[in-house]
Amino acid sequence: MKTILKLAKSWRKKHVIPILSHVLLDGNTARATDINTWAECPCSVTGLNTPAAAFPWAGVEAAMKSGPLAWHDGKLNGYAVETLSAEEFPVAPTLPPQSGPEFGLTRADLQGVMLAMAHQDVRYYLNGVLIDFAAGAVVGCDGQRLHLVNGGAVVPKAPKAGQFIMQDSMAKLVSASLGKRDTARVTCHKGNDTDYIRAMIGDTVICGKAIDGRYPNYDKVYSLDAALRGTIKIDDLKPFQNVVRDAKRIDSYYGVVLRQDGAIHFGAEDLAPAVPLPGTFGKEPWIIRATAQYLMDALTFVQGKETRVLNANDQSSIVFHAGDRVAVVMPMRT
């Protein structure tokens, strides 16, 4: 039910249509929508004689604190609420047959790729999370960095299933609805004019319109065959968070510098070692300058995993490869 209320609460940020701030209850099911995304889950309401009615989310949230929902004499669990006609509530789309395999998406994987997802970019197809059913990959990219989780999630892989881009609003809702050990079962549905993505989390169903656009060939922007610079494993991010904070405060333009000894430096001129990356590095000289926050997000993405650090040269991207995860950070041009 928290998913339904979260979706209903978000209406003011996107719309001024009053009905979108309501939850549709029919005695057995609760539904909410923001036009582009729909969500529903089982919800029993005793005493609701009308086929369905739209209740304000604040009233439903307050009533739920006092126990199972009951509708009596114009009150929901004793709270007086004004309902709207169910006929005014937007109708959820009737999904065409499933056109791809089922994709298992965990909260850690989804939140990890969302770190690199674009926001309000004119390249609208980057403002979401790519689910590549053919390759079994989920990808976030904003043009300057890329996070990818590859393999093991699709059963089975389907070469003709294609790619679908989940809108950022749906990705955030799915992420907020997943528990630490939950897995969202994601399917794709091709329509004549609009494609849809559906995520099932327990008995909660979230459905949204897919972004209509062609995602870049993400597998062309990195190579796992680049020169191996070192191997790291980070269990504690606090030292690096301090470096990122200092880099932002001292010189946000130059960001941070990662050198061949595995130490992260900050500042334009002062290259004194700040925090060494825990691991082993080769002796061949190399240096890359990156945006502080991008590097921090990449380290967060691979935290706790044995990670290979790959880099071809000073002008190429740096790649963090840890099992089924890949984080790519483009260098800053100076």
Question: What is the domain partition of the chain in residue ranges?
Answer: 2-88, 102-219, 222-329
The average confidence (pLDDT) of the chain is: 84
Q: Is 153 helix (H, G, I), strand (E, B) or coil?
A: coil
The predicted structure's pLDDT at residue 298 = 93
Give the mean pLDDT of 163-168: 92
The predicted structure's pLDDT at residue 152 = 46
DSSP 74: T
Q: Give the model's confidence band at 206: pLDDT under 50 very low, under 70 low, under 90 confident, else very high.
A: very high
Of 84-98, 173-187, 194-208, 291-305, the one with minimum mean pLDDT is 84-98
DSSP 16: -
Determine the topology of domain 2-88 in CATH. DNA Polymerase III; Chain A, domain 2 (3.10.150)
Q: Give the model's confidence band at 159: pLDDT under 50 very low, under 70 low, under 90 confident, else very high.
A: very low
DSSP 4: H
Angle at 281 between CA 277 and CA 284, to 5 degrees: 130
Q: Rank 104-113, 183-192, 234-243 by mean pLDDT and report only the highest.
A: 104-113
* Per-residue pLDDT tens digits for 212-224: 988 999 988 888 8
How far is residue 234's CA from residue 67's CA, in Å, rounded to a whole number?
A: 44
Decide whether 2-88 matches 102-219 in CATH topology.
yes
How far is residue 159's CA from residue 130's CA, in Å, rounded to a whole number?
A: 16
Closest-CA residue to 329 (of 126, 146, 139, 129): 146
Pick the CATH number of 222-329 from 3.30.360.10, 3.10.150.10, 3.30.565.10, 3.40.50.300: 3.10.150.10
Backbone torsion region of residue 103, taken as left when φ is above 0, otherwise alpha when ψ lies between -120 and 50, otherwise beta: beta
Q: Give the model's confidence band at 188: pLDDT under 50 very low, under 70 low, under 90 confident, else very high.
A: confident
How far is residue 225's CA from residue 310's CA, in Å, rounded to a whole number?
A: 8
Residues 6+ apart with CB under 8 A from 150: 135, 136, 137, 324, 325, 326
Long-range contacts of 194-203 (CB under 8 A, 24+ apart): 194/93, 195/164, 196/93, 196/95, 196/96, 197/131, 197/164, 197/166, 197/170, 198/95, 199/105, 199/170, 199/174, 201/3, 201/174, 201/177, 203/41, 203/42
CATH number of the domain at 102-219, please? 3.10.150.10
Task: Specify which residues 265 forms β-bridges with.
Answer: 257
